[in-house]
Amino acid sequence: MSMPRLDSDDEIEQLPPEIAKKARALLMSLVRPHLAMVVFLAVIVVLTAVFMVIGPVFIADALDNGVPAAIDGDMDPLIRAVTLFIVSAVAGAILAFTSTRLVGITAQKILFTLRERVFTHVQRLDLGYHEKSTSGRLVSRQTSDMESVQQFLSYSLFDTALAVLQMLFIAVTLVVLDIPLAIVVFAGFVPLFFITKSAHSTQRSAYRRTRTSIAKVIVHFVETMGGIRAVQAYRRQPERRGTLSDQDARYRDANTDALRGVAWFAGWTRLIGNVTQTVIIVIGAWLVIEGWTQVGVLAAFILYLRRFYGPLDELVQAFNLYQSASAALEKIAAVLDTDPEVVEPTQPRALPAHASSAVPSADDADSAATKPANGRALDLDQVRFAYADGPDVLPRFSLHIPAGQIVALVGATGAGKSTLVKLVTRFYDPSVGRITLDEVDLRDLDDAQLRSSVVMVTQESFLFAGTIADNIRIGNPNASDEDVVAAATAVGLDAYIRRLPEGYATDVKKRGGRLSSGQRQLVSFARVFLADPDVVVLDEATAHLDIPSERLVQNALATVLEGRTAIIIAHRLSTVEIADRVLVMESGRIIEDGTPDELISGTGKFAQLHQAWRDSLV
């Protein structure tokens, strides 16, 4: 039976309502700290536009007044007009250079703030968001979308403002020079208004498609490179290449549609400009012949028309970048508009001071032997949880773990073990009920105290690019070199590290590729030693260890978990040996609860699993 294939077109990146308004609000919040510089730039842009527009006025004065005066022997009017023209041209160039430079600097400051804001916000979003949203899409927000916004702010915003101001000042100047000719020029703006309005709506839609399309290309690329081993091992290169070609084709088509709209807009504006210029030449020549206007005024009008419609070409390009940047900013605003489902409390509570208590030993639950409890009591009270609109994974789940007790969770895949520890570590909040640490609801703890009290080690054993020491020090950034060595020694990693050419300064490379999976897991355990938490959660943390390494880690765990509250998920039943208590889960419920010896000697599920495991060792 073939599985239905979801076409990528069905995956539509939903934007929240009024996203355009939220994008504008986001931009204003970014600009507000630089408001003084923006006002200064606005003044410079206005002055630049004035100096760039005023030149033809001096040319008209030179033709109508300076030349006739020079013919009569008076050179002063002509020299004055030419001098003023040169001064205005030089001043306009200097101001244009200054404003372009300052706009670029200000734009980079705004983009720097935006990148930091997005990165910080994405890190705050809960695990549920990251499990639903691909990393490639977030990469697209920080790369191609940021690039679109940067191009507009750095290169097009100044040109756009300058072009608009030039057109405004030229319009005023045209009215002053000759009202009838000015009316002819303004008549061309009637069709231009409707063309611009139509282009705005169609281009916004087209550029939203380009941003979504390029995001899909990046998503597919990141996913393929992240799983390159599987791609090569199963020879999936042609399929992955075909999918990328499809996504690239959609991006190409979206860009083609967008550029077709730009070409249509540019063609119509240029046609209107050329027709208007032709009409002005004809009507202006007739007015000069009839003596109703001067040659200098007509020459100024023709020069102004070139400057009047010339900026329209720049506006077409700026319009293109604006639509792209607008669509990109909407995507970024949508990320920032996402609220984390797991939120910090407005009035956090502090955990109480540690209290010593007696916990039955793992060797004999009925004996009087006790060990000090440095951990904290953990309680799940009538907890119910479901992912999104799916079925309940934990239906009305209650559990009490005394301080300092080591609990092993056992069960088939899908029994709810990983979901349980995600709730305990507050990567998710329960749909119903509450989870407490020493009778304090996890929702009432600020994130810093929660993360210092509860530490989780997963089977992924993710390492960051950098040295081994830096990766171990993630558990406690303030740890000394001696503390790092002690942690590595405790998990049995020190001897291996010292055999490396650079020892603890050895670069682990991308994702810790220089280390084996078992060694990467030992680095994760060393982090826990440094973190010194109250509660340790191990989610199949020994899954990638060979038998010798696993035994080494078991000994280290027995030491580090002494007296601490711990929850261990393990498919390898050898890990259960250090537990005080075993919980067997099935369909989100506990079906067996007891010490390892009690359950092994019984006839339940755990006894069957344990016997099957022993038989596999024979």
Whether 362 is covered by a domain: the verdict is no
Better-scored residue on pLDDT, 167 or 428: 428
The answer on pLDDT for 7 being more than 70 is no
The residue assigned the tokens 């680095």 is 523
Tell me, yes or no, whether 382 and 252 share the same domain.
no
Better-scored residue on pLDDT, 300 or 201: 300
Tell me, yes or no, whether 82 and 136 share the same domain.
yes
Residue-level pLDDT at 550: 67
Tell me, yes or no, whether 327 and 473 share the same domain.
no
Tell me, yes or no, whether 396 and 447 share the same domain.
yes
The answer on pLDDT for 513 being more than 70 is no
Tell me, yes or no, whether 44 and 184 share the same domain.
yes
By C-alpha distance, which of 118, 148, 145, 158 is closest to 37? 158
In terms of Cβ atoms closer than 10 Å to its own Cβ (0-12, 13-18, 19+), residue 506 is middle
The angle, 0 to 180 degrees and rounded to 10, between the axes of the packed helices 237-289 and 189-226 is: 160
Whether 346 is covered by a domain: the verdict is no
Name the 3-class secondary structure at 618.
Answer: coil
Tell me, yes or no, whether 384 and 306 share the same domain.
no
Better-scored residue on pLDDT, 134 or 39: 39
Tell me, yes or no, whether 125 and 268 share the same domain.
yes
Radius of gyration of the chain (CA): 36
| Beta-sheet pairing, 432-437 with 440-441 | antiparallel
Calpha distance 264→202 (Å, rounded): 11
Tell me, yes or no, whether 285 and 405 share the same domain.
no
DSSP string, 59-71: HHHIIIIIHHHHH
Residue-level pLDDT at 535: 92
Name the 3-class secondary structure at 20.
Answer: helix
Domain boundary, last residue among 276, 306, 336 = 336
Calpha distance 579→407 (Å, rounded): 6
DSSP string, 297-325: HHHHHHHHHHHHHHHHHHHHHHHHHHHHH
Whether 13 is covered by a domain: the verdict is no
Which helix (H) or strand (E) element contains residue 347?
A: none
Neighbours of 505 (CB within 10 A): 13
User: What does the CA dihedral 481, 482, 483, 487 come to, rounded to 10 degrees?
Assistant: 100
Residue 438 gets the label, from left (phi > 0), alpha (psi -120 to 50) or beta, of left
**What would the mean pLDDT of 205-209 be, rounded to a whole number?**
71
Name the 3-class secondary structure at 414.
Answer: coil
Mean pLDDT of the chain: 79
Name the 3-class secondary structure at 566.
Answer: strand
User: Which residues, 6+ apart, have CB-to-CB distance to 57 below 8 Å?
Assistant: 173, 177, 300
Calpha distance 525→559 (Å, rounded): 12
**What would the mean pLDDT of 377-401 be, rounded to a whole number?**
89
The pair phi, psi for residue 376, each rounded to 5°, is: -135, 150
Widest CA span of the chain, in angstroms? Answer: 125
Whether 341 is covered by a domain: the verdict is no
**What would the mean pLDDT of 550-566 be, rounded to a whole number?**
74
Tell me, yes or no, whether 214 and 78 share the same domain.
yes
The pair phi, psi for residue 129, each rounded to 5°, is: -65, -45
Give all strands (DSSP E) within 68-175, no chain letters.
Answer: none
Which amino acid is located at 519 in the chain?
Q
The answer on pLDDT for 433 being more than 90 is yes
Calpha distance 361→367 (Å, rounded): 8
The angle, 0 to 180 degrees and rounded to 10, between the axes of the packed helices 295-336 and 237-289 is: 150
Calpha distance 170→193 (Å, rounded): 18
Tell me, yes or no, whether 441 and 386 share the same domain.
yes
Neighbours of 249 (CB within 10 A): 11
Six token digits for residue 163: 């072009």
The answer on pLDDT for 2 being more than 60 is no
Whether 112 is covered by a domain: the verdict is yes
Tell me, yes or no, whether 391 and 503 share the same domain.
yes
Tell me, yes or no, whether 292 and 428 share the same domain.
no
Domain boundary, last residue among 336, 363, 390 = 336
| Beta-sheet pairing, 392-401 with 406-410 | unpaired
Residue-level pLDDT at 400: 94
CATH of the domain at 107: 1.20.1560.10
Which helix (H) or strand (E) element contains residue 382?
A: strand 378-386
Window from 31-35, 47-51, 87-91, 301-305 with minimum mean pLDDT? 301-305
Calpha distance 13→334 (Å, rounded): 10
Domain boundary, last residue among 336, 365, 391 = 336
By C-alpha distance, which of 350, 342, 405, 343 is closest to 131? 342
Calpha distance 146→461 (Å, rounded): 31
Q: What is the pTM of this model?
A: 0.70
Calpha distance 63→130 (Å, rounded): 70
Window from 49-53, 579-583, 587-591 with minimum mean pLDDT? 49-53
Calpha distance 62→51 (Å, rounded): 17
Which amino acid is located at 229 in the chain?
R
Residue-level pLDDT at 317: 67
CATH of the domain at 455: 3.40.50.300
Whether 6 is covered by a domain: the verdict is no
Six token digits for residue 318: 């700026």
Residue-level pLDDT at 63: 77
Coarse DSSP helix, strand, coil percentages of the chain, rounded to the nearest 5 percent: 65, 10, 25
The answer on pLDDT for 242 being more than 70 is yes
Calpha distance 144→217 (Å, rounded): 11
**What would the mean pLDDT of 601-613 be, rounded to a whole number?**
81
**What would the mean pLDDT of 262-285 be, rounded to a whole number?**
75
pLDDT tens by residue, 319-330: 777 777 888 888
Domain limits for position 195: 19-336
Number of domains within the chain: 2
Window from 112-126, 157-171, 470-484 with minimum mean pLDDT? 157-171
Residue-level pLDDT at 233: 66
Residue-level pLDDT at 370: 39
Give me the half-sphere count of Cα atoms (radius 13 Å) on the Cβ side of residue 556. Answer: 25
User: What does the CA dihedral 71, 76, 79, 82 come to, rounded to 10 degrees?
Assistant: -90
The answer on pLDDT for 362 being more than 50 is no
The distance of Cα 574 from the centroid of its chain, to the nearest Å, equals: 41
Residue-level pLDDT at 158: 76
Whether 1 is covered by a domain: the verdict is no
Residue-level pLDDT at 9: 39
pLDDT tens by residue, 174-184: 787 777 777 77
Whether 246 is covered by a domain: the verdict is yes
